[in-house]
Amino acid sequence: MTELVSRLSVTPAALEVVRMLQEQFGDLMFYQAGGCCEGTQPQCFEKGGFYLRTNDVCIGQVEGFDFWLDHDLFEYWKHAHFTLDVMEGIGAGGFSLETPYGKTFIIHYRIFTAEELEHLTPLRFNTYD
């Protein structure tokens, strides 16, 4: 049996910030939209602090917390692996929970190989049924 290929990974630096935010706020969620400004960077909210749209896509989890993409953004990036990272400084908008700590989550992308594309982990779509 072939091992499934994850669509999402996290750097140790980002994981450290996620754990700190979990201690401060409890359960979390991540969302990345396809819009301008702060929408282009991943946002971290308290779980339920952002309302998902129909067909938004969960590409994986960070420390057990869902990482959602706007469905239009997913269509654009569905052939790419996402790596959640963090950098010093405040990104555009500042709605994400890490902002008051002088941090900003960012994503590094890489295109999947043809072989990886055949073995990707399943997706989960948001529905209101």
Model confidence pLDDT, tens digit, residues 36-85: 655 578 999 999 999 999 999 999 999 999 999 999 999 999 999 999 99
Who's near 127: CB < 8 A, 6+ residues apart? 54, 55
**Residue pointed to by tokens 């400004």:** 37
Model confidence pLDDT, tens digit, residues 89-100: 877 666 899 999
> Is a pLDDT exceeding 70 seen at residue 118?
yes
Strands (E), 24-119: 28-32, 43-46, 57-62, 65-69, 80-88, 103-111
**What's the pLDDT band for 129 if we cut at 50, 70, 90?**
confident
Give the separation between CA 109 and CA 118, rounded to whole angstroms: 18
Give residue 66's pLDDT.
98
Give residue 54's pLDDT.
92
User: Is the model more confident about 21 or about 90?
Assistant: 21
Q: Per mean pLDDT, which range of 3-12, 29-38, 71-80, 120-129 is the poorest?
A: 29-38
Mean pLDDT across the stretch 5-21?
98
Who's near 14: CB < 8 A, 6+ residues apart? 62, 84, 85, 86, 105
pTM of the model: 0.92
Mean pLDDT across the stretch 25-32?
96
